[in-house]
Structure 1
Amino acid sequence: MTSTSTSRPVGELLRQWRERRRMSQMDLAIQADISTRHLSFVETGRSRPSREMILHLAEELELPLRERNHLLLAGGFAPVFAETPLNSPEMTSVREAIGQVLGGHQPYPAVVVDQRWNLVDRNPATGLLLRGVAPELLEPPVNVLRLSLHPKGIAHRILNLGEWRAHLLHRLRRQISLTADPELTELWRELDGYPCDQPEPEIGTGQGQIVIPLRLRRGYRELVFFSTMTTFGTPLDITVAELAIEAYFPANPETAAYLQHQHHPD
């Protein structure tokens, strides 16, 4: 949908997104406070929506900013959301915020990724996770999901690989359903084809678990982490909207003590 959206009528694209969100015309019309008849006319091309109507419907459908621009182009309007390079002067405050989060999370690992899980930045503590990874997987652009599940990546050190793999693939499938990004679909197919000699449980079936942990072998030790995802609030730039910070926290005192010791060996 992403790569061909501007060659299709805006009404057809809106209908496809509505169906992807599993909404009826009535559902969307009520939510957007317009008549079902008007929405039907927009979707069939009998009525040409204004710029404001396209943005209004896109907001109600919770579309990514990139897709809102595609809808505007399909409707004959100029895009309104910029995609500013992260290294540009206008993004200084964003870079500083990222640096503060990454630095403040030491001695625990944290990475910054874009929408397609390509590595944008990381803190030094992630070096602990990357030991033993094949050099070719660290050649830019580094994809952190590929790095996690590839047999020459971190996978051989993940003690609960089946559980962690099921979690990552489930999260990726959900993202695909929200964004319709064909590159993410290709990534999912690649990752799904990687070998795994452990059972992959259904998400949500872990008895007594609060979160799905990452159990990592480090020599004779087992390091256990859980992670959080942080995004920028109310972004109006595509680059910022597609950034996320994944921060790993120790899930037990032993892991915390080991990371603290690695950070301050004396």
Structure 2
Amino acid sequence: MTTTEDDVPVGALLRGWRNRARLSQLELALRADSSARHISFIETGRARPSPEMVRRLAEHLDVPVRERNALLLAAGYAPHYPETPLTSPALSPLRAGLERMVAAYEPYPALVVDGTYEVLAANRGIALLLSGVAPELLEPPQNAMRITLHPDGLAPRIRNFAEWRGHLLEQMERQLALVRSAPLRALYEEVSAYPTPPPPPVRDEAPAPPADAGPGCPFALPMVIEYEGRVLSFFSTIATFNTPMDVTVSELAVETFLPASPETAKDLQLLMP
């Protein structure tokens, strides 16, 4: 899915997405109200799919919106999905809604990022965690991956940095398997090459996992970070838009951080009354 060739036939691209989804031609045909014969003809280049068929197949294959435009171009059609700049007046209601959302999540940290992890909105909980980050990393446009993984960013204060770094890099690798994005690839190569800072000195024990999380293993990997002598522990959740019809909107993500311990919840209430 990460090929950069511009002349790959649409049938080959669709076959790649079908294989990735682990669907047979018959299974895809049933979902898309077509026939296995027609799907076969499209994939081998014996039939040219209509724009409607390309969009229908892409929808049933869960192809990202940006790549749906690439499929249409490969089939000889114009892109169907616009890519509206987030600064456009047309997206003003969306921007305002996202800002209200992250503000309402306080005192817990929350932020909005685009497809290359540029920070588009953040609340006071995020600002709290950024204390001590090098000023140059906080200059706009801020990038969440750089801020987190850079040795002058949050990295030295993250207690379980090796595990958290691995989680973030795997997240980026999954994205790169889905979309052909030169900026995202460049960001991945940059942050994966950052030197790993030495672990912070342990002054007290990190919060224990919840009692119902299983023997010795929490139900999700927390980010454990130091802040002014406190140890804060968070579970991260990511939300995206359902059925987006715009490339920009399809790549927006709202990341929120839930306290992973009662102590963290209490500390945040004290730090941000």
TM range (shorter): 0.7 to 0.9
Aligned partners of 1:176 and 1:59: how far apart in 2? 19
2:252 corresponds, among 243, 254, 257, to 243
Q: Structure 1 residue 230 and structure 2 residue 205: aligned?
A: no
In structure 1, give the amino acid aligned to 2:239: T
In structure 1, give the amino acid aligned to 2:235: F
Q: Which runs of 5+ in 1 are unaligned?
A: 199-204
Sequence identity, in percent?
49
Q: Structure 1 residue 190 and structure 2 residue 199: aligned?
A: no
- After superposition, the CA RMSD in angstroms is 2.5
Q: Shift of residue 167 of structure 1? A: 1.7
Q: Shift of residue 206 of structure 1? A: 8.4
- TM-score, normalising length from structure 1? 0.86
Aligned partners of 1:2 and 1:78: how far apart in 2? 21
1:220 corresponds, among 215, 229, 232, to 229
| 3-state SS, counterpart of residue 178 of structure 2 | helix
Q: Structure 1 residue 135 and structure 2 residue 144: aligned?
A: no
Matches within 5 A, 1:36-185: 36-185=36-185
Aligned partners of 2:156 and 2:169: how far apart in 1? 17
Confirm or deny: 8 A CA contact 2:108 2:259 kept in the other structure.
yes
Shift in alpha-carbon separation, 1:186–1:170, aligned structure 2, 3 A: same
Confirm or deny: 8 A CA contact 2:66 2:179 kept in the other structure.
no
Shift in alpha-carbon separation, 1:161–1:181, aligned structure 2, 3 A: same
Count of residue pairs brought into register by the alignment: 259
Q: Deviation digits for residues 17-60 of structure 1, max 9, x if unmatched?
A: 22333444344334334333222221222111111111111111
Q: Shift of residue 111 of structure 1? A: 0.9
Match of 1:261 in 2: 270
| 3-state SS, counterpart of residue 14 of structure 2 | helix
In structure 2, give the amino acid aligned to 1:118: E
Match of 1:202 in 2: none
Bigger CA drift: 58-67 or 32-41? 32-41
Bigger CA drift: 164-173 or 94-103? 164-173
Q: Shift of residue 95 of structure 1? A: 1.5
Confirm or deny: 8 A CA contact 1:159 1:215 kept in the other structure.
yes
Aligned partners of 1:86 and 1:189: how far apart in 2? 26
| 3-state SS, counterpart of residue 178 of structure 1 | coil
| 3-state SS, counterpart of residue 159 of structure 1 | coil
Matches within 5 A, 1:2-17: 4=4, 6-17=6-17
User: If each structure's helix is expressed as a fraction of its own residues, which one has the higher value?
Assistant: 1
- TM-score, normalising length from structure 2? 0.84
Q: Deviation digits for residues 73-92 of structure 1, max 9, x if unmatched?
A: 22222222111222222212
Q: Shift of residue 116 of structure 1? A: 1.8
Confirm or deny: 8 A CA contact 2:2 2:176 kept in the other structure.
no
Q: Shift of residue 217 of structure 1? A: 0.9
Match of 2:211 in 1: none
Bigger CA drift: 11-20 or 22-31? 22-31
Shift in alpha-carbon separation, 1:7–1:142, aligned structure 2, 3 A: farther
Confirm or deny: 8 A CA contact 1:148 1:155 kept in the other structure.
yes
Aligned partners of 1:131 and 1:122: how far apart in 2? 14
